[in-house]
Amino acid sequence: MAKALYGHVGNAPDRRLLDEVTLLRTKVRALEIELTRLRAENDRLAAAAEAELLRLPEPAMA
């Protein structure tokens, strides 16, 4: 087992695999930024909707 692990670690990493990992990390970072932006926008819209609801008059009970 130790020889198998050593052989795996000793080999040079596949360039295509490194490129793909780099690309995926970039995409994940972009998606995390987009998620943060959308959450902030959602919070802003929810607060605006709540403020709008508070300004509506109470319905009159007949």
> How far is Cα 56 from Cα 49, in angstroms, rounded to an integer?
11
Report residue 58's pLDDT band, with 50, 70 and 90 as the boundaries.
confident
Element (H, E) at 46: helix 15-55
The C-alpha torsion from 33 through 36 and 37 to 41, rounded to 10°, is 170
Residue 13: C-alpha distances to residues 21, 23, 34 (Å): 12, 16, 31
Give the predicted TM-score (pTM) of the model. 0.61
pLDDT at 59 over 80: no
For the segment 25-41, what is each residue's pLDDT rounded down to a tens digit?
999 999 999 999 999 99
Q: To which residue do tokens 């819209």 refer? A: 45
Across 30-56, average pLDDT: 92
